[in-house]
Amino acid sequence: MNILIDNQQKADLFAYLFQHIKLFSEYVNIMFEKERMYLQSMDSSRVSIFEIELPNHWFQKYEHINDAAICIGINTNILYKVLNARDKNQIVSIVYDGEDADKLCIHFTCDNKDIFDKHFEIPLVEIDNELLGIPEFESQADLTINSINFANIIHQLQIFGDQLIIDCSEEKIALCSTSQDTGKMTVDININDLDSFAINEGENLLLSFSLSYLHNICLYSKISKDIEIKLTRDYPMKITYLLGDEHSKMTFYLAPKINDE
């Protein structure tokens, strides 16, 4: 298997995708299939699931000669350290040899001779995790919002509590966090200011989610101009960053907080 990313913007994006994964999972399986690269994992607390899907045409070169998928297990901390060593102008090459199946080779190169080429061999690990079948479900409310604006709101709300309460109807969207020590903060989102908004007629959703997990998810706000959010009562919040087209994306599923009362 031989993969090449020689587009500067895509090389930066690819490195950024793996920058914060270590906050969610220490080890991940990456699937290299004929048609795409796919990654899925669940955090240790089993509160969130994340996926990365990049079709083969997203890469400048994607050589995959085997019919079967290639699955490699990798330590996310090591992968982050490797990608963090890449200079801005370097292209990314990823090579896996099935006959030497205990390592993944990553190369950073460029034509600028003032920047030295770098070569890495990453030890692979065997991870006994099966892919989770995530059922399709119809959302009750969909909205698209500027990703950086949403990240700033989540950061501010986290100062006032660890729980996000979403009050969503045809007339309004309100985000709230509260605690006995710091008080309460409410953000009223003008529906007309959203890139898109749809909700079932007569629907009124009152949902609660962890702000600490949302904060980590929002660390990816720079990878996409907008963030797509799907809300459904008693189901996970679905958050999607599109990476150029509908088939190139990073998706999170965040379980709702349960009211014990």
The pTM for the full model equals: 0.92
Partners of 204 in beta bridges: 169
Q: Which of 35-59 are b and which e, b meaning 16 or more Cβ less than 10 Å from the residue's Cβ?
A: ebbbbbbbbeeebbbbbbbbbbebb
Specify the fold of 141-254: Proliferating Cell Nuclear Antigen (3.70.10)
CA distance 56 to 71: 16
Q: Where are the domains of the chain?
A: 2-123, 141-254
pLDDT digit string (tens) for the chain, length 261 residues: 999 999 999 999 999 998 889 889 999 999 999 999 999 998 878 899 999 999 999 999 999 887 788 999 999 999 999 999 999 899 999 999 877 789 999 999 999 989 999 999 999 998 877 777 777 889 999 999 999 999 999 999 999 999 999 999 999 999 999 888 889 999 999 999 899 999 999 999 999 999 999 999 999 999 999 999 999 999 999 999 999 888 999 999 999 987 654
Q: Based on the number of CB atoms within 10 Å of its own CB, is 142 exposed (0-12), middle (13-18) or buried (19 or more)? A: middle
CA distance 248 to 173: 28
| CATH class of residue range 2-123 | alpha beta
Distance of CA 88 to the CA centre of its chain: 22
If phi > 0 it is left, if psi is from -120 to 50 it is alpha, else beta; for residue 183 that is: left
Q: Based on the number of CB atoms within 10 Å of its own CB, is 108 exposed (0-12), middle (13-18) or buried (19 or more)? A: buried
